[in-house]
């Protein structure tokens, strides 16, 4: 699964994403104060541990988060 809003971000390490308990490529994004935050770019779900439905649910949750963010910044943008 890939977070396409993070495309172009350099992969700095591959390690376990604690939130989804799966191996993930991670990059760093610096906020307004300059502080770097690790962010997952893409996740690798082993077929023997995750079902397709489970991963679809993660993808939908991610989509909902971005929809909510868009709503917050551009409420009139349909």
Min dist CB 13 to another protein, Å, is 13
Among 29, 51, 57, 60, binds another protein (CB under 8 A): 29
Q: Looking at 3, 17, 27, 42, which residue binds another protein (CB under 8 A)?
A: 27
Considering only residues 31-60, where is the footprint of another protein by CB under 8 A? 31-36
- 35 or 68: whose CB is closer to another protein? 35
C-alpha 31/C-alpha 34 separation (Å) is 5
Q: Which residues bind another protein (CB under 8 A)?
A: 6-10, 27-36
């Amino acid at each position: 699964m890939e977070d396409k809003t993070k495309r172009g971000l350099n992969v700095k390490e591959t390690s376990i994403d604690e939130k989804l308990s799966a191996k993930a490529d991670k990059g760093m994004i610096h906020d307004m104060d300059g502080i770097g935050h690790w962010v997952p770019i893409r996740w690798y779900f082993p077929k023997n541990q995750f079902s397709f439905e489970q991963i679809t649910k993660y993808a939908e949750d991610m989509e909902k988060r971005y929809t909510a963010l868009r709503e917050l910044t551009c409420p009139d943008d349909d």
